[in-house]
């Protein structure tokens, strides 16, 4: 046999060996022996902590994933959700609201208007457009001052990074890194009065009543849904909130081991006396309210509650503004009493009309019917 033929046979054997090594054999599950399965580590980077539950029979197989809520849901952040594994990729694709940018702009406009009503900002026309100013800095709009502070912040961060690159001493490098981590707030590059007004403004926007009013005015209707057709809400496992994944997985395993199915005869198996760690008797959550133009029958927040919320927002703004004025040695000022309670100013009612401006309905005299009182 020539050397060329031997080299060809060896190369063919190596190619066949590589094919055998690269070929993935189907995993076999036995009802008599426990298989040794490992969860792929790559999925944790995309999905986060999760557990896979596989139910296999001779006729079919089902796979479920226990994971944190994906995207925008009505669940809490520390809830756990069970989904069919094949539905998880579509949920990840629908994780974000396509109109989130527009919603953020609408909420930012409302927050700014609330700050103007509270006296923390001043609105004026500049080149035919509305612009907001700090009460102490009406020479330049707030956005221009913040843009300048951001540029100074970027320059300061770049200088510190350059010093880190040329510094060799470990102690100095650690100190510079710590300084770089602290360079995150633009208010450090505003003058004293302007920085104080910006801090008060941010404090006002974090007031729970302000956040609640902004979210109620511009609600988030989008939800990341699941199911084969993408029309089912993600439902949290009852009793699993705040528990570690290992306990949740063990509770579901115990539930499956002591499954109690309703049948005509006796139950298949009685549950343990202490009950499962996790109650998987899932109840669908309430769906978010539809948009305002969804038609009649829409449940909306009562106006009285929004009015009360608006009053609390004004009180919070008055307190914050009072502290700011006190720091500058001025008398506290605030919005006029009752401002913002109505959406539009109303003119005095005309004779023969009710307070809403509609024709007043005639009041029937005692002992007469409405039809008789309307005659003559």
Question: Which pLDDT band, with edges at 50, 70 and 90, does 376 fall under?
Answer: very low
Phi and psi at residue 61, to the nearest 5°:
-145, 145
Cα angle 105, 111, 116; round to 5: 125
pLDDT (0 to 100) of residue 178: 92
Rounded to an integer, what is the distance from CA 37 to the centroid of its chain? 35
Predicted pLDDT of residue 168: 86
Rounded Cα distance, 253 and 326, in Å: 62
Kindly indicate the confidence band of residue 337, based on its pLDDT and cuts at 50, 70 and 90. Answer: very low
194, 284 contact by CB (below 8 A): no
The pLDDT value recorded for residue 370 is: 45
Higher-pLDDT residue of 34, 122 = 122
Q: Which domain holds residue 197?
A: 100-217
Question: pLDDT category, 340, cuts 50, 70, 90?
Answer: very low
* Lowest-pLDDT choice from 88-92, 211-215, 317-321: 317-321
CA distance 121 to 320: 12
Query: For 18-55, what is each residue's pLDDT tens digit?
Result: 655 555 556 677 777 777 777 776 666 788 899 998 88
What is the rounded CA–CA span in Å between residue 183 and residue 192?
17
Q: Is residue 352 part of a domain?
A: no
What is the pTM assigned to this prediction? Answer: 0.60
Task: Answer whether residue 173 is part of any domain.
Answer: yes
- Give 287's pLDDT tier (boundaries 50, 70, 90): very low
- Residue-averaged pLDDT of the chain: 75
Residue whose entry in the numeric block shows the structure tokens 């579901």: 252
138 domain residue, yes or no = yes
User: Residue 299: inside a domain, yes or no?
Assistant: no
Identify the pLDDT of residue 219.
94
- How many separate domains does the chain show? 1
pLDDT of residue 14: 65
Alpha-helical segments (H) within 133-291: 142-166, 170-182, 192-205, 208-217, 245-257
Residues in CB range of 279: below 8 A, 6 or more apart: 237, 238, 239
**Domain presence at residue 29:** no
Averaged pLDDT, 201-211 = 93
> 280 or 198, which is more confident?
198
Is the backbone of residue 356 left (phi > 0), alpha (psi -120 to 50) or beta? alpha
183: Cβ–Cβ under 8 A, 6 or more apart, which residues?
153, 156, 157, 160
Q: Does residue 201 sit within a domain? A: yes
Name the more confident of 54 and 309. 54
According to the model, what pLDDT value does residue 284 have? 38
The verdict on residue 160 lying in a domain is: yes
* pLDDT score recorded for residue 181: 93
Asked whether residue 183 is assigned to any structural domain, the reply reads yes
The least confident of 67-71, 93-97, 163-167, 328-332 is 328-332
pLDDT at 22: 55
- What percentage of the chain reaches a pLDDT higher than 90? 41
- List beta partners, residue 52: 65
């Amino acid at each position: 046999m020539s050397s060329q033929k031997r080299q060809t046979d060896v190369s063919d054997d190596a190619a066949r060996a590589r094919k055998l090594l690269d070929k993935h054999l189907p995993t076999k599950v036995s009802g008599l022996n426990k298989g040794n399965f490992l969860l792929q580590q790559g999925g944790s980077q995309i999905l986060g902590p999760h557990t896979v539950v596989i139910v296999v029979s001779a006729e079919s197989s089902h796979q479920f994933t226990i994971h944190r809520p994906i995207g925008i849901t009505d669940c809490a952040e520390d809830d756990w959700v069970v989904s069919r594994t094949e539905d998880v990729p579509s949920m990840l694709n629908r994780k974000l609201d396509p109109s989130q940018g527009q919603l953020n702009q609408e909420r930012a406009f409302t927050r700014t208007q609330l700050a103007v009503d509270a006296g923390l900002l001043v609105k004026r026309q500049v080149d035919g457009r509305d612009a907001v100013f700090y009460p102490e800095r009406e020479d330049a709009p707030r956005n221009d001052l913040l843009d300048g502070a951001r540029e100074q912040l970027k320059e300061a961060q770049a200088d510190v990074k350059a010093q880190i690159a040329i510094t060799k001493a470990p102690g100095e490098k650690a100190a510079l890194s710590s300084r770089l981590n602290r360079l995150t707030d633009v208010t450090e590059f505003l003058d004293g009065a302007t920085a104080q007004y910006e801090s008060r403004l941010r404090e006002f926007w974090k007031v729970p009543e302000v956040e609640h009013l902004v979210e109620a005015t511009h609600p988030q209707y989008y939800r990341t849904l699941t199911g084969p057709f993408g029309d089912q809400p993600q439902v949290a496992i009852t009793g699993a909130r705040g528990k570690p994944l290992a306990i949740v997985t063990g509770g579901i395993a115990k539930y499956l081991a002591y499954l109690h199915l309703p049948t005509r005869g006796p139950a298949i198996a009685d549950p343990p006396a202490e009950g499962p760690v996790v109650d998987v008797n899932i109840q669908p959550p309430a769906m978010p309210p539809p948009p305002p133009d969804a038609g009649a029958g829409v449940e909306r927040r009562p106006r009285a509650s929004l009015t009360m919320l608006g009053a609390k927002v004004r009180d919070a703004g008055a307190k914050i503004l009072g502290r700011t004025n006190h720091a500058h040695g001025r008398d506290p000022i605030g919005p006029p009493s009752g401002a913002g309670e109505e959406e539009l100013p109303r003119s005095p009612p005309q004779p023969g009309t009710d307070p809403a401006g509609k024709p007043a309905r005639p009041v029937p005299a005692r002992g007469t019917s409405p039809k008789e009182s309307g005659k003559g």
